[in-house]
Amino acid sequence: MQSGSTTPQVPAGTARYQRELQTGIQAVRLAAQLCRSVQAGIAAPAAAQSVMVKEDRSPVTVADFGSQALICAALHQAFPDDPIMAEEDAASLALPQNGAILSAVTRQLQQVRPDASSDTIRSWIDRGRTREFRERFWSLDPIDGTKGFLRREQYAISLALIVDGRVELAILGCPNLPQSCDSSNSSEATAAPGLIFHAIRTQGAWSVPISDAEPAPAPASLPASLHVSLESAPARARFVESVEAAHSSHSDAAQLAERMHIVRPPLRMDSQAKYATVARGDAEFYLRMPTRADYREKIWDHAGGMLLVAEAGGTVTDISGKTLEFHHGPELLENRGVVASNGVLHDFILAALRR
């Protein structure tokens, strides 16, 4: 895979959202550094002080709060009028029993932002508290796949710019994703993991190693262009799904695979790294099957990955074939589940689901 420079290169005449892209990539790269630092200490005796449990019983870590604080601060500095719709809020950090978590977040952020204090960190986090639809706003999941993060497996930092209900820009940081699943290329197989994926609507999808997203004294290679798989035979397809059965119905996915005569085992990983896997052709489709009738997906879990797959030549809809709608606040209220595919197999997958 080719390495890249700080400023992603796109064809001439396609300069839309370049400032937003550069700001977002720099912020996501900085957040990835913080996440790696926190993850490295998970096995330490004091690791329990880095994790708390929210009301919905999902875990949230020092890295979730730190990542959101860094990215929200960067976006507010560059685009002070832009609202941000992010997953976390700082209310729990004000509770006395979570003082150790707040102290740990502060220590981590002060390594990259010496001006960070407990109060400013809480204010940065709460810049992501927008919950109403706006004509232009950012969607942010500071760590998508927190359980994968805790297992030292796959997680993602997902940032998207939504304008008039349409995802225009996506940045997906995947600090643990290998450079390539193709081990036949020795240089890629031995390269350090970690990629930043990015896409702008109508301008294609690209990836760059996280290490190469840092400022360099001399121009580096162009980012690598992403393209979905061209596999058209359903039986030869490979799909990717969530590790957690609570996130997506494994039994429904298994029935679908049987109907399509798929023999290859599914890839299972956490987070929107699944979208990246489809976008770069390592799998033909991703299934997010509803686990209950009343559940609706959160926009920050899909906005970044959806545009990435679409700009790589794929197709993303809900399980009934409807386009994902991003103008109903924090949830995809008019959609159920998600199917992201290479496009060639999309109608076949939807037909199999209907059966």
pLDDT > 80? residue 58: no
Q: How confident is the model at residue 180 (pLDDT cuts 50, 70, 90)?
A: confident
* Sequence ranges of the chain with CATH classification 3.40.190.80: 234-354
| This prediction's pTM | 0.89
The average pLDDT across 197-223 equals 75
Q: Which of 61, 106, 130, 146 is catalytic?
A: 146
For the ranges 133-147, 197-211, 287-301, the lowest mean pLDDT is seen at 287-301
In the annotation, is 182 catalytic? no
Distances (CA, A) of 33 to 76, 138, 286: 20, 21, 28
Among the listed residues 58, 82, 61, the one whose alpha carbon sits nearest the alpha carbon of residue 72: 82
Q: Where are the alpha helices (DSSP H) in 151-260?
A: 186-189, 250-259
As a whole number of angstroms, the distance between CA 323 and CA 315 comes to: 9
* Sequence ranges of the chain with CATH classification 3.30.540.10: 18-225
Distances (CA, A) of 24 to 63, 90, 343: 18, 22, 28
Q: Which of 23, 64, 130, 270 is catalytic?
A: 64
Q: Which residue has the higher pLDDT, 333 or 12?
A: 333
Q: What is the pLDDT of residue 222?
A: 66
Q: Where are the alpha helices (DSSP H) in 79-227?
A: 99-110, 118-125, 146-150, 186-189
The average pLDDT across 73-98 equals 95
Q: Which residue has the higher pLDDT, 254 or 157?
A: 157
Q: What is the pLDDT of residue 293?
A: 87
As a whole number of angstroms, the distance between CA 88 and CA 105 comes to: 14
pLDDT > 90? residue 106: yes
pLDDT > 90? residue 334: yes
Class of residue 65 by CB neighbours under 10 A (exposed 0-12, middle 13-18, buried 19+): buried
pLDDT > 80? residue 67: yes
Considering 216-220, 222-226, 275-279, the range whose residues carry the highest mean pLDDT is 275-279
| CATH number for the domain formed by residue range(s) 234-354 | 3.40.190.80
As a whole number of angstroms, the distance between CA 198 and CA 205 comes to: 6
pLDDT > 80? residue 24: yes
Q: How confident is the model at residue 182 (pLDDT cuts 50, 70, 90)?
A: low
CATH class of 18-225: alpha beta
pLDDT digit string (tens) for 118-138? 999 999 999 999 999 999 999
pLDDT > 50? residue 243: yes
For the ranges 13-22, 213-222, 253-262, 310-319, the lowest mean pLDDT is seen at 213-222
pLDDT digit string (tens) for 286-330? 999 888 888 999 999 999 999 999 999 999 999 999 999 999 999
In the annotation, is 64 catalytic? yes
